[in-house]
Amino acid sequence: MRGMFITCEGPEGSGKSTHSRRLAEQLRACGLSVLHTREPGGTPTGEAVRLLLQHDGAGESPVATAEVLLFCASRAQLIAQVIAPALERGTWVVCDRFTDSTLAYQGYGRGFDLPTLRALNTFATGGLVPDLTLLFDVDTPLGLKRVHARTAASGAVPADRFERESLAFHEKIRNGFLDLAASEPSRFRVLDTTPAVDAVFANVWKAVQPHLPASITTGKAVDHAG
Ligand code: Z5A
């Protein structure tokens, strides 16, 4: 049976990475074969593109049109090399960001028209659409505060190109994601990530549990205390 394709989306600092990793662990604890990956990235080509996009790895910032195409290039490689084969062999895939990020950031954020971006997404993915999209939503200043605290604590990692965008840009992204979720309620589940991580994860699990195969009724809890 084909695996289930779950994407995790949302503005910066909303907790996608934290919860997508934890979701993958919890699904593995249920006995499922699970692949956790991310965009941009997830393949050697994708990780090289990530460096170009986030940290001006070629020594210059990609112009807005190149930015769109680079995200799509990373996506095409990830789909062909990793995601499609995994789903085909029955592995569940949890992906940290996917096509909705292009619509939110390059569409609502940078102002490209959504039909063009949707066509490019379809070209890159061959039409693959997630079975379930978890939208991690948080008040913009709180999300940015979390990201800046993490950047300051890590010391070594400088703020990326997107983290340096204005508050107004990030507000557009958040509202864009909420619009997308409202337009496709059967695919999206919106999760408020203001509460502590454990409380948010309980809601993530509630959203995913109905999709588990009938042979798996309750997942063995993963202990995150130590
Ligand atoms: N991008 C795009 O423009 N177009 C596209 O098509 C695609 C992407 C695919 C990828 O950067 C950038 O590319 C992204 C959009 C753009 N940039 N932005 N903005 P990334 O993957 O490096 O960055 P990110 O996706 O935004 O991830 P992030 O900054 O790491 O945020 P996050 O994944 O949502 O959050 P997190 O890492 O899970 O948590 C952040 C911190 O908050 C961390 O210290 C956690 O411990 C803490 N946290 C998380 N949840 C909580 C709760 N509930 N309470 C308290 N603290 C919490």
- Please choose from 7, 8, 14, 18 the residue to mutate so as to test ligand 1's pocket, defined by most ligand atoms within 8 A of CB: 18
What does the domain layout of the chain look like in residue ranges? 5-39+90-211
Confidence of residue 220 (pLDDT cuts 50, 70, 90): low
Q: Name the more confident of 172 and 225.
A: 172
Q: Check residue 218 and give its pLDDT.
A: 54
CA 184 to chain centre: 17
CA of 11 to the centre of ligand 1 (A): 7
pLDDT of 224 over the 60 cut:
no
Please determine, for residue 133, whether its predicted confidence score (pLDDT) is greater than 50.
yes
Q: Please list the alpha-helical segments (H only) found in 56-166.
A: 64-78, 84-88, 99-101, 114-125, 140-154
Mean pLDDT for 15-37 is 98
Q: Which CATH superfamily is domain 5-39+90-211 in?
A: P-loop containing nucleotide triphosphate hydrolases (3.40.50.300)
Determine the average pLDDT of the residues in 155-170.
81
Report the nearest atom of ligand 1 relative to the CA of 74: 9
Instruction: Place 201 in a pLDDT band, splitting at 50, 70 and 90.
Output: very high
Q: How far apart are the first and last CA of the chain?
A: 35
Percentage of the residues of the chain whose pLDDT score is greater than 90: 83
Band (pLDDT 50/70/90 cuts) for residue 154 is confident
Residue from 53, 78, 105, 123 whose mutation best tests the ligand 1 pocket (most atoms within 8 A of CB): 105
Name the average pLDDT for the chain.
Answer: 93
Give 152's pLDDT tier (boundaries 50, 70, 90): confident
Angle between helices 167-183 and 140-154 (to 10 degrees): 120
pLDDT of residue 222: 55
pLDDT score for 164: 83
For residue 221, is pLDDT > 70? Answer: no
Measured in Å, residue 18 CA sits from the centre of ligand 1 at 9
Ligand 1 atom closest to the Cα of residue 173 is 19
Q: Which residues of 42-75 are buried (b: 16+ CB within 10 A; e: fewer)?
A: bbebbebbbebbbeeeeeeebeeeebbebbbbbb
| 1-10, 35-44, 103-112, 150-159: least confidently modelled range | 150-159
pLDDT classification of 56: cutoffs 50, 70, 90:
confident
Confidence of residue 76 (pLDDT cuts 50, 70, 90): very high
Q: 137: which strand partners? A: 192
- The tens digit of pLDDT for each residue in 135-145 reads 999 999 999 99
Separation CA 121–CA 10 (nearest Å): 18
| pLDDT value at 147 more than 70 | yes
The 3-state DSSP class for residue 72 equals helix
Question: Distance (Å, rounded) from C-alpha 53 to C-alpha 8?
Answer: 20
